[in-house]
Amino acid sequence: MSPIVIAGGGIAGAAVAAGLARAGLDVTVIERETGPTDKICGEFLSPEAQDYLGKLGLDPADLRGHQISELALVRGGDQIRTKLPFTGIGISRRILDEAVLTHAAHCGAHVLRGHRVISVSTEGGLAIDLSGMGQIRPRNLFLATGKHELRGQSRGTASRNDLVGFKMYFRLTPTSEAMLAGKIALVLFRHGYAGFQLVEGRKANLCLLTQRAHLQNMGGDWRGLLSDLLAQNPYLGQLLTGAAALLERPLTIYRVPYGYVYRPSPSDSAQIFRLGDQAAVIPSFTGDGMAIALHSAALAVSCFLAGETASAYHQRLSADISGQIKRAGQLYSFAQNGITQMAFFGLAKLWPATLSFAASLTRVPLQARL
């Protein structure tokens, strides 16, 4: 086993593996999935994320995603349309994550699939328990296992974790497909919001977040939630008329820890670097979670190669992105409250530039980008 282990081969883990391997280091990525999988995500690849992929040597244009340059903000029967100040890409995580992991392997990283990191302990030196392989003792661990805690590596509480996410792909009718082409629809509804956009192959991704209590009120399942959403939003209802669901059942996620930012403490292990959602989780309507994951990977590579400590890396990362995550949390709370939601919508209707401004507040800050 390599002296450097990366737990999790999602976008953050694969990117850090590619960066370290390109610098000539011996690294192994451990990914529990045996092959490409669907993931719950709105699948909007922001320009910052595209930039980071380019710097890794991966051209996002090669992924043949769907170009998105317009935003439709939808509330009930009303909507505001505005040009985005950038072009995003709709690309499924099944394609994207696999491309980054394959790229890491081309850069020289070893990729071990189908094994799960069960637990990590640091007492008596770094030790990792792996399914089917027993214990390994690498010199360093880059922890990139996503949103949820890993045994032995608890990380404090998020500002909220009462949220439930769903994602479903649809094949739309040609008329609806033409209506959605080039756009991301951000749909505000009571107790939540949804993103709707096309990805490669012109599949439509409907990804939504709601409060657990609302889900229970809607009968506790996707069907009840979706029919309530369609009843509240004629635009979405129109787009989904005649659409065919492409997954047997939606992907779901519980307890999304929005607002979480890892704060280093003096008792931290100097050998463990946290990346991506293990380091910070931004509300998903911003479409910038993958950019944060890629930023954390680029920063971790730069700090590690410069011989900086894990704690110095965590401090820099938290300084880079805490403001962005806080502002996204405030916008999220705004959007959840009926009165402020209405006020924000009214303002954006008068000045659509409000939307571009709000979007700019939730990006990885320019001065932090590597």
Ligand X SMILES: Cc1cc2nc3c(=O)[nH]c(=O)nc-3n(C[C@H](O)[C@H](O)[C@H](O)COP(=O)(O)OP(=O)(O)OC[C@H]3O[C@@H](n4cnc5c(N)ncnc54)[C@H](O)[C@@H]3O)c2cc1C
Query: What residues line the site for ligand X (CB under 6 A)?
Result: 7-13, 30-33, 39-44, 46, 49, 116-117, 144-146, 150, 165, 207, 209, 253, 256, 276-277, 284, 287-291, 293
Cβ atoms of 155 and 287 closer than 8 Å: no
The CB-of-331 to ligand X minimum distance in angstroms stands at 15
Q: Is the distance from CB of 15 to CB of 296 less than 8 angstroms?
A: no
Backbone torsions φ then ψ of 309, nearest 5 degrees: -80, 165
The least CB distance from residue 339 to ligand X, in Å, is: 25
Cβ proximity to ligand X, 30 vs 104, nearer residue: 30
Q: How far is the CB of 343 from ligand X (least distance, A)?
A: 25
Pair 270, 254: CB distance under 8 Å? no
- For ligand X, which is the closer residue by CB, 101 or 239? 101
Token code pair at residue 170: 């649809």
- Smaller CB distance to ligand X: residue 326 or 349? 326
The tokens of 72 are what? 């439709």
Residue nearer to ligand X on the CB measure, 196 or 304 = 196
Residue 3 one-letter amino acid: P
CB-CB neighbours of 330 under 10 Å: 13
Q: Please, which residue, 190 or 349, has the CB nearer to ligand X?
A: 190
CB nearer ligand X, residue 11 or residue 240:
11
CB nearer ligand X, residue 117 or residue 158:
117
Q: Which is nearer to ligand X, 43 or 228 (CB)?
A: 43
CB of 223 to ligand X, least distance (A): 19
Provide, rounded to whole angstroms, the least separation between the CB of residue 7 and ligand X.
Answer: 5
Residue type, 193: Y
Between CA 259 and CA 263 the distance in angstroms is: 12
To ligand X, the closest distance from the beta carbon of 242 in angstroms equals 25
Cα 16 from Cα 21, distance rounded (Å): 8
Q: How far is the CB of 144 from ligand X (least distance, A)?
A: 5
Tell me whether residue 347 or residue 361 sits nearer to ligand X (CB atom). 361
Phi then psi for residue 308, to 5 deg, are -75, 160
Distance CA 89, CA 190 (A): 28
Tell me how far, at minimum, the Cβ of 332 lies from ligand X, in Å.
Answer: 12
Minimum Å gap between C-beta 283 and ligand X is 9
